[in-house]
Structure 1
Amino acid sequence: MAAGQQITLRLTIGEPVPGVAYSLQNKKSEPLGMVIAGDQPLSFDVQVEVAPGPRFLGELVRRDGPARRFVYIAIGQQAGDPSSPWDRRAKIDIHDLPAELLEKALAGSVLEALLPGRAKDGGPACATVRPLGSWKLAE
């Protein structure tokens, strides 16, 4: 694997809370690409650099310790809507992508994770959010 290869990850929220702002969040905790959710699934495409190891790098990739890498989806106030009653973010782990899917992503395929949209309190899902099922090739 050569340094500097790019892959695309698609993070799809299956049932976002309608009327709530969602965005990606960069390393400076700034919202990028805010959208207001409707009744349909909501997707964000994230460009990630893959270095040998593999190591995941990029403006949207965060780290926790030597190995954990993740991406944040900001919600409500954190997504740039100061009037929102929600002030949350969802952490999506990417360091554990299956090797066989990573190889396909390096060859140009988009990898997609379907994420839950609602937390137990009925609001937007937040904290560490696990995909509903496995990562897969996007259609």
Structure 2
Amino acid sequence: MARADQFEIRARIVIEQPVPGVLHSLQEDDAPLDPKTSKAGEALAFDFPLRVERIEGGAKFFGKQVRREGPERRFVYIRIGTAAGDCASPWTRRMKIDIHDIEPALLDKAAKGGVLVGQINGTAKDGSPACATIRPVVWRVV
């Protein structure tokens, strides 16, 4: 339930160049949500709502997909391989996508009806699925 000082925006994580055949899913609580597999490296997109509360110098984020670390850091997990529900996968990984440092102007624009989109690369330098904290994340509103 959103408080009066919070507003909701639509958010999307787009994984460019995911490793073909590897299951990815958004994390909700401790379970996979909306599992998807790229057949030939096409992008995967995960949509979810974000609740935002404006604070001095930025924003705080809330929602079923939002995780926290310390008083300020907020992020979203993408589960990969067995973590996403594929018991036969050779990988058990998660991508950590920071959201706490999104520009306030983008949040304001998304609040007016746009979708906040974060684009990331899904393949690590060694050709396996990207994991851990993913940088850079390119944020825009569409």
TM-score strictly above 0.5: yes
Count of residues in Structure 1 that have an aligned counterpart in Structure 2: 136
Question: What TM-score comes out, normalization by structure 2 length?
Answer: 0.89
Secondary structure of the residue aligned to 2:136 is coil
TM-score by length of 1: 0.91
Instruction: Give the % identical residues.
Output: 50
1:136 paired to 2:140: yes
Q: Secondary structure at the match of 1:135?
A: strand
State the shift of 1:4 in Å: 3.5
One-letter identity of the residue aligned with 1:70: F
Q: Does 1:38 align with 2:31?
A: no
Q: Which amino acid aligns with 1:116?
A: N
| 1:5 is aligned to 2:3 | no
Unmatched 5+ residue regions in structure 1?
none
Instruction: Find the partner of 2:69 among 61, 64, 72.
Output: 64
Query: How many angstroms apart in 1 are the aligned matches of 2:6 and 2:108?
Result: 14
Within 1, Cα distance between the matches of 2:140 and 2:121? 15
Partners of 2:37 and 2:44 within 8 A in 1: no
| Alpha-carbon distance in structure 2 between the residues aligned to 1:3 and 1:46 | 20
Unaligned runs of 5+ in 2: none
- 1:130: Cα distance to partner? 1.7
Post-superposition CA distance 1:37-78 (Å, at most 9, x none):
222111111211112322100110000000000000000000
1:92-121 per-residue CA deviation (whole Å, 9 max, x = no partner) reads 000011011110011111111110111122
- Tell me the residue number matched to 2:119: 114
- State the distance in 1 between where 2:82 and 2:5 align: 36
Which one has the bigger strand percentage? 2
